[in-house]
Amino acid sequence: MNEPMLGGMAQTALDRALPLLRPGNTNCGGCGMSSLLQMLGHAAADRTLQFVMPASCAAVCGGVFPLSTFGVPTLMTTFASGAAAASGAAAVAQLNGEDTRVVCLAGDGGTYDIGIASLSAAAERNEDILYICYDNEIYGNTGGQRSSATPAGAIATNLRQGKQQPKKDILAIIAAHRVPYAASISLAHADDAVRKMRVALDLRGFRFLLALSPCPTGWKSEPALGMELVRLAVRSGLFPVLEIFDGRRHVINIEPDFSDEALDMYLSLQRRFQRSGITAADLRPDLDQLWQNLRALSGRIVPARRSS
Ligand SMILES: Cc1ncc(C[n+]2csc(CCOP(=O)(O)OP(=O)(O)O)c2C)c(N)n1
Ligand code: SF4
Ligand SMILES: [Mg+2]
């Protein structure tokens, strides 16, 4: 199967004997997390994996015991204990002399909010786990409530007028723990995403990946437009794609063109931004500041915004 959305990188029998996420799962059509799992399967190839998943759409999409659509052993946990349980699973694998890579897959609610204490603790101890946050910017599995990852201007089922506060910068928070590797990945840039997944799978110690994950159900967007939305977010500078090594060395992987047209398109293609009427002009000052900081951290002196 050659799926154009993934640039021909869809899961095939050549990647691993069992896909990480099999057909029959309960994810909505166009769910970014499904694409992420497809890419992760491609990146992991024949590496031995174990999943740990706190409460989320991911945790339920495997189905009802004893059936599972996951292609690897998967441990479901409470929200608060995801990173702690993953740390334990990694320790057990090491004691058994197994080369199992433990991957904690969590949503933004489980990462930015309810699981942040055990996540911070695991990062501080430099536990040997790969923590992946698929960030759909809401509590998706319970109907789309606001999280601290919800961006300014978006409505949620418990927030009717559009969020006032900006999104929490979770990558900076994780980097502040000086972990070996933290990176953001764009699902619309499959080569870069798969490369980083491989780097993160092969490193030892605490590794963190953050993916902006389209959620047609919560974003009120067309399922087929998910990858285009991610592309617009990257292009406009809204979602920076970067790697941070040891919490210090910042590398920007994809250079935006800071297009306001792309940013307005991103906002207008999702009905969650309609009620607040937020525009690129409202967001741009904060984005300029964000990019000035990123330029300083990455040692690059390119101006935050190119003059047109
Ligand atoms: C302590 C606790 N509070 C609330 C819930 C109910 N709950 C289950 S999944 C979920 C949403 C999770 O959101 P997120 O982590 O962003 O993952 P998503 O559903 O968006 O994939 C909630 C609130 C729970 N299981 N445990
Ligand atoms: S609600 Fe969103 S995150 Fe959950 S399965 Fe549907 S598209 Fe995916
Ligand atoms: Mg979520």
pLDDT tens for residues 60-73?
Answer: 999 988 889 999 99
State the pLDDT at residue 7: 44
State the pLDDT at residue 304: 54
Is residue 218 lining ligand 2, measured as CB closer than 6 Å? yes
Q: Give ligand 1 pocket residues (Cβ under 6 A).
A: 55-58, 79, 107-110, 114, 136, 138-142, 147
Where are the domains positioned within the chain? 13-298
Determine the atom of ligand 1 nearest the C-alpha atom of 110.
15
Residues 105-137 have pLDDT tens digits of 999 999 999 999 999 999 999 999 999 999 999
The domain 13-298 is placed in CATH, from the list 3.30.420.40, 3.40.50.970, 1.20.1560.10, 3.30.310.50, at 3.40.50.970
Q: Coil, strand, or helix at residue 87?
A: helix
Question: 5 pLDDT exceeds 80?
Answer: no
User: Residues with Cβ < 8 Å from 208, sequence gap 6 or more?
Assistant: 123, 130, 131, 132, 133, 171, 174, 179, 181, 182, 183, 200
Question: 78 pLDDT exceeds 70?
Answer: yes
Residues 243-259 have pLDDT tens digits of 999 999 999 999 999 99
Tell me which H or E stretch contains 75.
strand 74-77
State the pLDDT at residue 307: 52
Question: 300 pLDDT exceeds 80?
Answer: no
Separation of CA 116 and ligand 1 centre (Å): 13
Nearest protein CA to atom 2 of ligand 2, as residue: 215
Window from 4-18, 32-46, 235-249 with minimum mean pLDDT: 4-18
Range 42-59 average pLDDT? 97
Q: Is the peptide bond before 66 cis (omega within 30 degrees of 0)?
A: yes
| Cβ burial 201-216 (10 Å sphere, 16+ → b, else e) | bebeebbbbbbbbbbb
Q: Beta partners for 49?
A: 101
Which residue is associated with the tokens 């285009």? 228
Residues 190-220 have pLDDT tens digits of 999 999 999 999 999 999 999 999 999 999 9
Determine the atom of ligand 1 nearest the C-alpha atom of 114.
1
State the pLDDT at residue 74: 96
State the pLDDT at residue 14: 52
Determine the atom of ligand 1 nearest the C-alpha atom of 135.
16
State the pLDDT at residue 3: 39
Determine the atom of ligand 2 nearest the C-alpha atom of 27.
5
Query: For a substitution probing ligand 1, which of 21, 56, 108 has the most ligand atoms within 8 Å of its CB?
Result: 56
Separation of CA 292 and ligand 1 centre (Å): 34
Higher per-residue pLDDT: 294 or 7: 294
Whole-number Å distance between alpha carbons of 110 and 133: 8
Question: 6 pLDDT exceeds 50?
Answer: no
State the pLDDT at residue 87: 98
State the pLDDT at residue 18: 79
Question: 25 pLDDT exceeds 90?
Answer: yes
Percentage of the chain modeled with pLDDT above 70: 93
Report the candidate in 225, 227, 196 with the shortest Cα–Cα distance to residue 212. Answer: 227
Question: 8 pLDDT exceeds 70?
Answer: no
The chain-wide mean pLDDT, for the chain, equals 93
